[in-house]
A and B are shown apart, each in its own frame.
Chain A
Amino acid sequence: MTAEPVGARSRTGYDAETLAALTADAEQITARYPDPRSGLLPMLHLVQSVDGYVSRDGILFCAERLEMTAAEVSAVATFYTQYKRHPNGTYTVGVCTNTLCAVMGGDTIFDRLSEHLDVGHDETTPDGSITLERVECNAACDYAPVMMVNWEFFDNQTPQSATEIADRLRAGEEVVPTRGASSVCSFKQTSRILAGFPDGRADEGTGAGGPTLEGLRIARERGWTAPEPDGADAAGEPATEVPPETGTAQSSAERKPTTAQDEKPGMPDASEPGKRTEGSDD
């Protein structure tokens, strides 16, 4: 059975039309990469765009396309929080409750929404409209407290604004993000974009919100600019290759040297003749 060519007969439960469309999309995805396996993450977004979550069929589909086992695909799918293991609501409403947003009001917003919608973290309202989530830092701290709806920014929220947005989503009304497209699309549409199939809405919305422009606004006001290339005062000597003070977030630069090449990058490593090495993370 497994020896049959992929596509000749699929173990997924998709009807022929769905399967054909998925297969065509999957081919476009794998064509973006030197190794088709790199297409797995976008392909998982793709199956979410059809099923609204990473379904059993979706896992089988990815496995068949990439000649992996279903267990291997599941191992990847369960690692990432954006892949849902149960049917997701039409809208994922995510409240940032990482420290800064939580302190600024995110905790209150989450609690109020949870009470208002009568669902907890990673639960979906009975009408299938909203899946409520606590989310981690979404890189919009200067707009705290932040809420994401289908991964569009809703900045500077209050309990009132958040519950109002949730009510409008449940009523099927159009909801406009603070910085994003001119309306929020559905979870399935969002997933399709994340699979790398744009919806032509990149030009909608703003380029920058107020806080993004705060420093620039002050610089304009006071006439501050970066130096001109010619008029730059010559104080800046070209940097020498001083050993940097490395070792911080997401770096392993502070590890102790274990081989000669750790201390003298570029020197031949006794254990790996002819190999060169480098120093650190970015």
Chain B
Amino acid sequence: MTDVLTPVLSDTWDAERSWTLETYLAHGGYEGLRAALAQDPADLVQAVKDSGLRGRGGAGFPTGMKWGFLPAPDGGPRYLVVNADESEPGTCKDIPLMLASPQHLIEGVAITSYAIGCHHAFIYVRGEVLHVYRRLLAAVQEAYDAGYLGTDVQGSGFDLEVTVHAGAGAYICGEETALLDSLEGKRGQPRLKPPFPAVAGLYARPTVVNNVESIASVPGIVAKGAEWFASMGTEKSQGHGLFSLSGHVTRPGQYEAPLGITLRELLDLAGGVREGHELKFWTPGGSSTPLFTAEHLDVPLDYESVGAAGSMLGTRALQIFDETTCVVRAVSRWTDFYAHESCGKCTPCREGTYWLKQVLHRIEAGEGTAPDIDLLLDLCDNILGRAFCALGDGATSPITSSIQYFRDEFEAHLDGRGCPFDPARSTLFDDTPQAPPALAGAGGHR
């Protein structure tokens, strides 16, 4: 029987100077790379396939299968690009991982590069996390100095260069092809697929793009075995994952557990919803995944079960909101975000998110009328599946799911009534409302 929590990536985070190579080595670091360099690269790809590891960046595509899609070597370069552009609202796992233990990622980069025949890997980290960038630069330097990167890695004859690249503020760059365009020095806009990055990625060369947590999970799989990894989790969702609890919960934070744990179990560990309040709605995997409510407390948080219950596991970003939170305000603010971050390349997303924002603002301000709710659904229907990338799809998730579960709350805002909630009650600090009750809720406008 596997334990409720299974610290693997987080296991060294409480160590003294956890971010240094010295600490990482003292905890068995780089054993995976040593084992990998003694193996045939194809066997490593097979091992990752056998482990059942699926992309931890949201989509859950099998990591080993992704590696396996690279065409046969043609003598030209092949690239690994790590997606460290963590920006999905609610998602806060890769940033603390890289702050606390960047060597986990660097070792994963080295193993993965060896497995796919890459000699120059890139880590694309969002630019808004200065100290994480410092730590990554230092970690890469330490790894070079110790011979884990550079020419003839550990005497194996394998050469690997790693460049840590800072972005400059754009959510869309988390989409893998937008990330590649951004890394090429362009505006970060998604590319038409196919061709997929495996065929024509960075500089139109075969490229693997993987999330930080996916790559950081590779050393453990190589050092301890695919079966070890697969012994955690459920039948189709194997392994460990970071579950990030935030919001109206007593002890928010990172909980590393086998896939398939439930929110009820996690809330139990986290001391429950904040005292005196009850769960109203939550996201299973970031703002782009349809909302859940208290009726979903026992849904196993694995890809299949969450999907069957009408949402997506996404990034396991569990944002908890209690009964003081106005769902219209929450959704309206997420919609502001999508409208702001829409790259403008495709019309359904660019125009659709703009109009969704306008309609939600007027509903929130009490200026909406009954047909506005169906108008929102109609707009969503015209975006979902018609946008160039998943940003547009994601923008519709909170809206359609919140109307599904809380239609009456939308209706309560209509025809001059405005928001019935006092936003001061949702805050974590004692604060007298800054606006008289009649204006409460107006803070949602930009």
Interface residues of A (CB under 8 A from B): 32-35, 37-42, 44-45, 66, 75-76, 79-83, 94, 97-100, 102-105, 107-108, 111-112, 121, 134-145, 148, 150-153, 156, 158-159, 177, 179-181, 190, 193-196, 198-199, 201-203, 205, 207-220, 222, 224-227, 229, 232-239, 241-242, 244-256, 259, 261-262, 265-266, 269, 272, 275-282
Contact = CB atoms under 8 A, between A and B. Distances in A.
Contacts of B248: 104
Given A108-B427, A136-B171, A235-B231, A34 B77 contact: yes
Nearest to A33: B163
B382 interface: no
Contacts of B13: 207-208, 212-213, 216
Contact of B90 (A76, A137, A241): A137
Contact of A250 (B56, B94, B391, B428): B391
Interface stretch (B37-45, B46-54, B361-369, B371-379): B46-54
A134 to B, nearest CB: 7
B160 to A, nearest CB: 14
Contacts of A111: 434, 443
Given A215-B10, A247-B312, 20 more contacts: A40-B185, A139-B92, A141-B252, A144-B247, A179-B131, A190-B130, A194-B127, A215-B5, A215-B253, A224-B4, A236-B238, A241-B62, A248-B58, A249-B288, A249-B314, A251-B59, A252-B190, A280-B55, A280-B59, A282-B59
Given A144-B246, A249-B286, A139 B129 contact: yes
Nearest to A76: B187
B66 A207 contact: no
B227 A250 contact: no
B232 A194 contact: no
A75 B187 contact: yes
Contacts, number: 472
B412 interface: no
Contacts of B235: 237
A107 B7 contact: no
B304 interface: yes
B383 to A, nearest CB: 13
A99 B49 contact: no
A140 B163 CA distance: 25
Contact of B182 (A41, A99, A156, A249): A41
A180 B130 contact: yes
Contact of A37 (B77, B184, B196, B255): B184
Contacts of A213: 10, 13-14, 253-254
